[in-house]
Structures are given as structure tokens and as C-alpha cells.
Structure 1
Amino acid sequence: GALLEHLARAKQVDARGLELSQAGVNACVARGLSVVQGDADTDLRDYPDAAFDYAILSQTIQAMHEPKAVLEQAVRIARRTIVSLPNFGHWTIRLALGLRGRMPLTRALNHAWYETPNIHLCTVADFAELVRTIGLKIETAIALDASGKASPLRPHAYWDNLVAESAILCLHN
């Protein structure tokens, strides 16, 4: 609810949220936010086409059971879709897997493998390929490093995929 609250209060956006857990919904509603309980994997199809200016999937696409279907639905219900995701191609992750043979713990991926909500980890290049496969366009792409510093991102560039700890992409049809 922190992003939703920021958009509603600081940016004066008519922001609405979809939250899986009832406890999360209750916490958001208690703070005056417009949030309904639902599952993006199944409930986005109930919204009409172009119902929103933006749909935001903030650090959630990798936790969806069907990320491709969720992305297709998000783009259908909104003119633009913003997706933020951890980059499994980051050099520290590659190093942890390659040298230690262990699943990494990073700022962006901070759960042990047996406790993580992330079920579909991907690299920025993998995600860009999914975007291309389903016929979407990347309008803007930003890389975030470990300190949160933003820089332009070329999703298919080897170096960018290596140094981006996470990414934010704005997509449209």
C-alpha cells in the first residue's frame, strides 16, 4: 500500500489497488486507501478494457502463477502498464549461483528460496522477450542499481542486464 498511498496523497492520483491478502486490504482501507481483495492471476479479466490510465505491477509479476496472462490482462485494462521486477541476471546473483552454488540473497531478492513469494524469476532480457512475444512495446525502461540509483535501461543489452539489480518498464500496445 505504500506506493498506492504515495500516488494518492503526493501525486493526487485517483489510485485503486488490488490486494491478495485480506489483512493487506484492511491495513490499506484503515489508511483511507481504495483497495479491494482479489487475485491478479484471476480477477483482472473482470475489469473492462481501458478502464484505467495506468496499471502498476510493482514487484509482483514474478510472484504470479501466470505472469504472461497477468501482463496481457494488465495491458488490456489500462492504456499503459508499469512493471517493476527484480533482475535475476544481475552480476551478484550470477556470482552467487556460479561460485557458491547457492540461491542468492540480495536487496531485491531478500527471501530464502524456501520462503520466497517469487515463483517465476527472470532476467530483464527474459522479460523484454516476453514483452516482444506478446506484441507489446517498451516505452520507457529504467535500471535500478543496489543503492536505488536510476539510469536508462536497454533491456536486451548484455551490460545493462548484468548491472541492473531491478528494473522498471512502462509498456503499451
Structure 2
Amino acid sequence: MNRIMATLRPDLAVIAGHVAPGAKVLDVGCGDGTLMAALRDERGCDVRGLEIDPHNVAECVGHGLSAIQGDADTDLALYPDASFDYAILSQTLQTTKRPDMVLEELLRIGRRAFVSFPNFGHWRVRSDLLWRGRMPVTRLLPVGWYETPNIHHLTIADFRDFVAARGLKVEGAWYLNGDSLISPAMATWRAEHAVYLLSRG
């Protein structure tokens, strides 16, 4: 693994490692452009970003990345059909107002879509709710209920049902416990995060 890929957040490293070299990519909720830079510099991709935070957009532009300010809930409609090989939504699905519509837009814009999200069915989350009766605060969910950007709390089981009900094809699925990949067995309990690669069935 090269130096830049090794510094990526684990879910971003999974995504970057499975994007085809030279692909055209839209990173929705691109943050400061860390993934965009890795895809550009290490995979030779043509990468564009959409980001709601103007300070993050400025940081992307300052690093020579093509990013614009926009909201995934409203601004994806501006992109033409099949205009990207991949549309990426990392750790953002649960923060959108209508994740179902956002995912539909991702698969309209991109031939494939990467989606990563925290698994609220992880055993530590279940334990906090069961034994303490409180919303959990963990390393990967580090803020209290009143300040979290997460407005939809989904589990891996929820997402699997969601995808199946819509007839979407799962081309790949990866599960992370901390910084390590784990097997799909018991992922609904053991995985803190999940990454899916989807396409139209």
C-alpha cells in the first residue's frame, strides 16, 4: 500500500482501493478532499467534489482539487445521468434528510455508487442502549445526541433490506471493526462501519 493510501480513514482506503484507475468520480460530501487527492494522485482519476461546508470547499480548491459547495439533498439533481463512473457517499448517508432519494440520485449520476456508514447495530451501541438507556458516545460516534449530524440511525441489516427492496446489485461489501476488515459473519453485531459498492440490478 502506498503512503497516501495508508493515511486514509479505513473506509476511504477501502473505497480508494476499489476504484478503477482513470475513472471519473464524484465525491459527495467530500470534506477536505483527502479521498479526492488520493484518487487523483494514486489512481489517476478525474475527481470532482460536492461539499456543504464552505471552509472544506476552500481547502479542496487550495489543494488544486475541483470542488463546489452544495447539498446532497438538493443539488445532485443538477448532474446529468451517468456522468460519472462512480459516485461516492462516505459517512454522509445518515446525515441526509432523504437518504433513499440521495441514493437514487447517486445511482442515476454514477454507473456505480460507493456508500459507507456507521453501523448503529454494533454491539457497543446495543449495550449502551440496553444497560444504560443512553445514546452511545464512542470513538467513531464521538459526540452527544444533541450535537450529532446523524439524523437517520441505520444498521447493516436495515441497509441490506433497503438495497434488496429496491432491486439494487451489491457488487462489493466490506465491514470494519476499528481499523480492520472483518468477515461478513456476524457483521451486523461486530462491524462498526460498512462500505458497499452498488449498481442497478
Check whether TM > 0.5: yes
The interval holding the TM-score normalised by the smaller chain is over 0.9
Contact 1:54 1:82 in 2 (8 A): yes
1:137 maps to 2:164: no
Match of 1:166 in 2: 193
The superposition leaves residues 39-63 of structure 1 with CA deviations (integer Å, 9 ceiling, x where unpaired) of: 1101111111110000000000000
Identity %: 51
- Residue 46 of structure 2 aligns to a residue whose secondary structure is coil
Q: Does 1:4 align with 2:36?
A: yes
Is the CA contact 1:4–1:16 (under 8 Å) kept in the aligned structure 2? yes
Partner of 2:121: 89
**Partner Cα distance (2:150, 2:64) in 1:** 29
- What per-residue deviation string (whole Å, max 9, x for no partner) do you get for residues 8-38 of structure 1? 1122211110001111111110111110111
Cα root mean square deviation, aligned? 1.1
Within 2, Cα distance between the matches of 1:71 and 1:11? 25
SS at match of 2:43: coil
More deviation, 81-90/135-144: 135-144
Q: Secondary structure at the match of 1:10?
A: helix
- How big is the shift at 1:152? 4.0
Q: Per-residue CA shift, 1:91-127, capped at 9, x if unaligned?
A: 0000011001111112221221111111011001101
Query: 1:75 maps to what in 2?
Result: 107
**What is the aligned counterpart of 1:20 among 48, 52, 67?**
52
Question: What are the ranges of 5 or more consecutive residues in structure 2 without an aligned counterpart?
Answer: 1-32
Tell me the distance in 2 between the aligned counterparts of 1:151 and 1:169: 14
> Paired residue for 1:150?
181
Q: Which moved more, 1:16-25 or 1:61-70?
A: 16-25
1:109-163 superposed Cα distances (whole Å, 9 cap, x missing partner): 12211111110110011011111222211111000002x111343xxx6x22000
Distance 1:21 1:169 in 2: 25
The TM-score with structure 2 as length reference comes to 0.81
Q: Decide which of 140, 147, 150 is 1:108's aligned counterpart.
A: 140
TM-score by length of 1: 0.93
Q: How many angstroms apart in 1 are the aligned matches of 2:49 and 2:168?
A: 23
Aligned partner of residue 15 in structure 1, secondary structure: strand
5+ long unaligned stretches in structure 1: none
Counterpart Cα distance in 1 of 2:176 and 2:88: 17
Show the counterpart of 1:39. Answer: 71
Which residue of the other structure, out of 98, 101, 111, is the alignment partner of 1:66? Answer: 98
Q: 3-state SS of the aligned residue for 1:53?
A: strand
Stretches of 4+ moved more than 6 A in 1? none
Q: In structure 1, how many angstroms separate the alpha carbons of the residues matched to 2:88 and 2:117?
A: 11
For residues 58 and 101 of structure 2, what CA distance do their matches in structure 1 show? 27
Aligned residues: 168
